[in-house]
Amino acid sequence: MELETVIGLEIHVELNTSSKMFCGCSADFFGAEPNTLTCPVCLGLPGALPVANEKALEHTATIGLALGCSVSPITKFDRKNYFYPDMPKDYQISQYDMPVCKNGYLDVEMTAQELSSQSQEPYVRRVGINRVHLEEDTGKLIHIGQSGRIAAAEYSLLDFNRAGVPLVEIVTEPDIRSADEAKAFVQNLKNVIEHLGVSDCDMEKGSFRCDANISLRPVGSEELGTKSEVKNMNSFRAIQRALIYEIERQTKILLDGGRVIQETRHFDAVGNTTSSLRSKEEAHDYRYFPEPDLVPKVFTEEEVRALKAALPELPTDKKKRFISDYSLSPSDAAFLTSSKATGDYFEECMRLKGDAKKVANWMMGELSMHLNAAGLKIEESALTPRHLLSLLKLIDAGSISGKMAKEIFAESFETGKLAEVIVEEKNLTQLSDSSEIEKIVMMALSENSKAVEEYHQGKDRAIGFLVGQAMRLSQGRANPALLNEILKEKLSEKA
Amino acid sequence: MLLYEMTLSKLHDELTSGRISAMELLDGVLKRIASTDSKLKAYLRLTEEEALKAAKAADARLLAKEGINPLLGIPFAIKDNMCTEGISTTCASKILDGYVPAYSASVAQRLFNFGAVMVGKANMDEFAMGSSTENSAYQITANPWDLSRVPGGSSGGSAAAVAAGQAIFALGSDTGGSIRQPAALCGVVGMKPTYGLVSRYGLIAFASSLDQIGPIAKSVTDAALILNAICGHDPMDSTSLKVGTSDFTQGLEAGVKGLKVGVPKELMGEGIDDGVKAKVEEAIKIFEGLGASVKEASLPHSEYALSAYYLIAPAEASSNLARFDGVRYGHRTKEDVEDMVDMYSKTRAEGFGAEVKRRIMLGTYALSAGYYDAYYGQAQKVRTLIMDDFKKAFSEHDVLISPTTPTSAFKGGEKTKDPLSMYMSDICTIPTNLAGIPAISVPCGLSEGLPVGLQIMGKALDEPTILRAAYAFEKEFNFSERPKL
Ligand SMILES: [Zn+2]
């Protein structure tokens, strides 16, 4: 039996509005002293009432529009009822049957690099967006005890700073067919949302989180198999790893004639495995019903038109523009638009009059390599576009060699010093003065008379040795072409 | 006449003319409470210290002639489901034992700003669920007209306090009749404004889509003055209507000549006590005598109102009351617990009374998967039909009148064992909550020595018309009996 993987994703995005979803408290909770950003409303104190944040509703519509969704003319909130200590009201205000947006898609281009299996051809996967809705985030439980998990905790502390932060949930159709696609989809989605500027999309801070529903079915079958839900994947790599593990696990069960249990599984990033969190067989009854404390929101046609008009340039359009405006290859343009920050970096270089192809090459090569090694994001790099251009200028002027450029790049990346400063400090400028080079050549010849002899005996190999020696004496600074020329000249004189 | 027997508007004259001070008025009211509340038990707690401070401040304002308004220096009671900063607020429930709100309800804050003097928090049915104030976890309030009888509910403490002169006015909340029913049973004026006219911010919710705060007073004019003070848009409540403030005392005296009064036949038939019916019929004659045209009206779906109400209100309540879980405030079980769910269960089992539990279970069931459409969904459809009934009725009539309650005050304990018969107490008042329209109850006489209430209902936001009709009736009828306490 050949099996097909079916994956649907739920992505939660915390919006970067200045205030929370239903009150005036600051939504900028990261790093704040626990429970300092709270009020009767977000603490769910008796009698307190929610008032919907219009900006959050607009941001949600913007996300939907960017994903080709339609914005509902009327959208309402519902209560999702369940008990949990980090939820102040013991219900979450969410959206049930009238989400802000419905029916969109995101095209995911699977490039050769993105496919872990080399045998496949690049292709485009259209992933349907079922809905985009708005809800409130919960608070945080901090379990005090050895394990940090609730089961063995001595006691637990509650921080409600995050409670009520606007949270957008994007639900895909079960259109994703592999772990690679899932990873690429999430990367693409994050990129789109970053371009919209409505969230900082920081996975480490939890402002962009992903859950996956995964099931397998015989190829050709239309029916969905029993799924498991994987949570706690907080990086692209984790999404890929978790899904690979889950596909293997379910495949093994099914091929052995077993039955997959519907459950929620937790991804362990250390072991690259998933483990059962709780059984979902007894499905939770959330008893959704319309939130009576909030009036439905009406999106007028003009409002939707205005939001659409205000959409910024999205990655796909930016990629097209990079190809046409800067004569870049599609793969270079794809790399440069793979995140908002990368595109911004590149365009800043262009603003500083860089050469597109050269800038692209350095960004894809040296810069990428150093960022990866240091575990930094491009926007965190000390080597800014100004630094990169400072370096490129020196190369163009012939002041430094390609080999030196890489060393200077490394130091600039490390220290944040401009290339010209490093060159100055270390006296690294290329030696192009013929009289200086001549002195060095003479010194090399006198120190290596044996090699000179060999040269004159017709051993051509000896010249390479002499060039190397002369270069060493110049501490690598001599202009190689000039050095070669002078050396040959002097050797012929001696003959 | 004793100070505590006077109306708010009369007292305002006394205060501004300097014949009395706010301190003297407060003193009179506090003495009245001291001499009667051991029998009445209208108050869950008194706030004497804060009251003295407020009265002193009111006197300073009166002296300086600054910020003079009709409520300045007037002692009032507030139902214990409205939050008052720094003052324990329990909804008469054990689950909120010791809970002290960090903020005041918008209505309370407005009254404080006007310089009104809060004397205490009034008893109520736990979480406003009940029609007799016997469901309070702390004490049972008596009816000032007959201590063996109930004051009605759930704002029974508020209504009894006003009727007994323990407060010049009070605030109640009305989800299915909880202001009008006790006002009727205690012989005072009670009003439920249009849904959204008064902010619910800080009102501990029973059923959000039905709850509305309103005044309990000694006269229609007083009710209008209090409504002036508490109505108006509140940015903290998104269901609060964006209507301009108006003076509801304006036009009270315009009379009812030519007013089209409808009497819904469904609210005058079966189940209405003969004594009550007789009083309402007399009231109809008075309206006719004043030049109003009275005709029969119909609210054909009102027979389903009670059923719809007892699905919608518990459904919302089951969710609203979820937050009382022992995690953050109020009561938490002292028993050993196995896990979180066990803690929730024990806490809630200990903290909530029988009626509250009954409704939480009813509501949970009505919302549960597989039953939603059959119960909650169906009830919402009935609600729409009832709204349409009213719309149709108000296309032919300016106001509708009916008894406020099917009977006068019943004996304590008489209906506590039979929830359904208790639920029937609100049969005349519930339709207006479902429709969100305003209604007022005014005393229309005594039946066997107990007060009977006349309910006047109007279109949404047509408070001026029902107040005008109530005022005309009140003036003509001149109900002057007082409970002998
Ligand atoms: Zn807040």
Q: Place A491 in a pLDDT band, splitting at 50, 70 and 90.
A: confident
Which one from B21, B104, B154, B447 is the annotated catalytic residue?
B154
**B8-17: pLDDT as tens digits:** 999 999 999 9
Cis amide leading into A207 (omega within 30): no
Q: Do A13 and A207 form a contact (C-beta atoms < 8 A)?
A: yes
pLDDT exceeds cutoff 80 at A147: no
* C-alpha to C-alpha distance for A169 and B143, rounded to whole angstroms: 54
Mean pLDDT of B336-348: 94
Position A279 scores a pLDDT of 58
Please return the burial class of B97, using the count of CB atoms within 10 Å of its CB with bins 0-12, 13-18 and 19+.
middle
* C-alpha to C-alpha distance for B480 and B471, rounded to whole angstroms: 14
pLDDT exceeds cutoff 90 at B139: yes
Using alpha carbons, select from B314, B46, B381 the residue that is nearest to residue B175.
B314
Q: Which residues from A are below 8 Å from B325, CB to CB?
A: 83, 85, 90
CB of A48 less than 8 A from some CB of B: yes
pLDDT exceeds cutoff 50 at A281: no
Query: Which residues are registered as beta bridge partners of B441?
Result: B190, B455
Residue among A40, A44, A51 whose CB faces B103 most closely: A40
* C-alpha to C-alpha distance for B329 and B312, rounded to whole angstroms: 27
Active site residue B178: yes
A46: nearest CA in chain B?
A: B204
Element (H, E) at B480: none
**A93-131: pLDDT as tens digits:** 999 999 999 999 999 988 776 666 666 788 999 999 999
Using alpha carbons, select from B186, B192, B35 the residue that is nearest to residue B123.
B186
Q: Indicate the pTM of the whole model.
A: 0.91
* C-alpha to C-alpha distance for A435 and A483, rounded to whole angstroms: 11
Q: Which residues from B are below 8 Å from A78, CB to CB?
A: none
Indicate the DSSP class of residue B376.
Answer: I
Residue among A45, A49, A79 whose CB faces B319 most closely: A79
Position A490 scores a pLDDT of 86
Mean pLDDT of A339-359: 96
Using alpha carbons, select from A8, A28, A13 the residue that is nearest to residue A209.
A13
**B421-432: pLDDT as tens digits:** 999 999 999 999
Mean pLDDT of A457-464: 84
Position A112 scores a pLDDT of 72
B365: nearest CA in chain A?
A: A287
Which one from B93, B104, B155, B178 is the annotated catalytic residue?
B178
Percent of chain B with pLDDT over 90: 97
Q: Place A426 in a pLDDT band, splitting at 50, 70 and 90.
A: confident
* C-alpha to C-alpha distance for A493 and B346, rounded to whole angstroms: 105
Indicate the DSSP class of residue B341.
Answer: H
Expressed in angstroms and rounded, the spacing between residue A37 Cα and the centre of ligand 1 is: 7
Q: Which residues from A are below 8 Å from B329, CB to CB?
A: 45
Which positions in chain B have a beta carbon within 8 angstroms of at least one beta carbon in chain A? 81-83, 89, 91, 96, 99, 101-103, 105, 200-205, 207-209, 235-239, 315-316, 318-319, 322-325, 327-329, 340-341, 344, 364, 367-369, 372, 376
Mean pLDDT of B448-472: 98
Active site residue B208: no
> DSSP letter string over B117-128?
EEEEEEP-SGGG
One-letter identity of residue B250? Q
* C-alpha to C-alpha distance for A391 and A386, rounded to whole angstroms: 9
* C-alpha to C-alpha distance for A95 and A169, rounded to whole angstroms: 10
CB of A141 less than 8 A from some CB of B: no
Mean pLDDT of B285-292: 98
Position A478 scores a pLDDT of 82
**Reading across the β-sheet that carries B75-79, which strands appear in turn?**
B43-46, B117-122, B75-79, B169-174, B212-217, B189-192, B439-447, B450-458, B399-403, B260-264, B293-297
A47 vs B327: CB contact, 8 Å cut-off?
Answer: no
Active site residue B154: yes
What is the 3-class SS of chain A, one letter each residue? CCEEEEEEEEEEEECCCCECCCCCCECCCCCCCCCCCCCCCCCCCCCCCCCCCHHHHHHHHHHHHHCCCEECCEECCEEEECCCCCCCCCEEEECCCCCCEEEEEEEEEECHHHCCCCCCCCEEEEEEEEEEEEEECCCEEEEECCCCCCCCCCEEEEECCCCCCEEEEEEECCCECCHHHHHHHHHHHHHHHHHHCCCCCCCCCCCEEEEEEEEEEECCCCCCCCCEEEEEECCHHHHHHHHHHHHHHHHHHHHCCCCCCCEEEEEECCCCEEEEEEECCCCCCCCCEECCCCCCEECCHHHHHHHHHCCCCCHHHHHHHHHHHHCCCHHHHHHHCCCHHHHHHHHHHHHCCCCHHHHHHHHHHHHHHHHHHHCCCHHHCCCCHHHHHHHHHHHHCCCCCHHHHHHHHHHHHHHCCCHHHHHHHHCCCCECCHHHHHHHHHHHHHHCHHHHHHHHCCCCHHHHHHHHHHHHHCCCCECHHHHHHHHHHHHHHHC
**A301-337: pLDDT as tens digits:** 999 999 999 999 999 999 999 999 999 999 999 999 9
**B71-89: pLDDT as tens digits:** 999 999 999 999 999 999 9
In this structure, the number of other CB atoms found within 10 A of the CB of residue A2 comes to 6
* C-alpha to C-alpha distance for B369 and B350, rounded to whole angstroms: 27
Residue among B237, B322, B324 whose CB faces A81 most closely: B322
Q: Place A278 in a pLDDT band, splitting at 50, 70 and 90.
A: low
**A228-270: pLDDT as tens digits:** 999 988 899 999 999 999 999 999 999 999 999 998 899 988 8
CA distances from A110 to A122, A178, A324, B51 (A): 5, 11, 21, 73
Pairwise pLDDT comparison (B485 vs B45), residue with the higher score:
B45
pLDDT exceeds cutoff 70 at A150: no
Tell me the torsion sign for CA atoms A425, A428, A430, A433: positive
Percent of chain B with pLDDT over 70: 100
Which one from B41, B79, B94, B459 is the annotated catalytic residue?
B79
**B50-69: pLDDT as tens digits:** 999 999 999 999 999 999 99
One-letter identity of residue A493? E
The average confidence (pLDDT) of chain B is: 97
**B451-462: pLDDT as tens digits:** 999 999 999 999
* C-alpha to C-alpha distance for A420 and A241, rounded to whole angstroms: 43
Interface TM-score (ipTM) > 0.85: yes
* C-alpha to C-alpha distance for A380 and A368, rounded to whole angstroms: 13
Pairwise pLDDT comparison (B128 vs B271), residue with the higher score:
B128
B206: nearest CA in chain A?
A: A47
Residue among A47, A89, A292 whose CB faces B203 most closely: A47
pLDDT exceeds cutoff 80 at B175: yes
Expressed in angstroms and rounded, the spacing between residue B234 Cα and the centre of ligand 1 is: 17
Position A385 scores a pLDDT of 97
Position A114 scores a pLDDT of 66
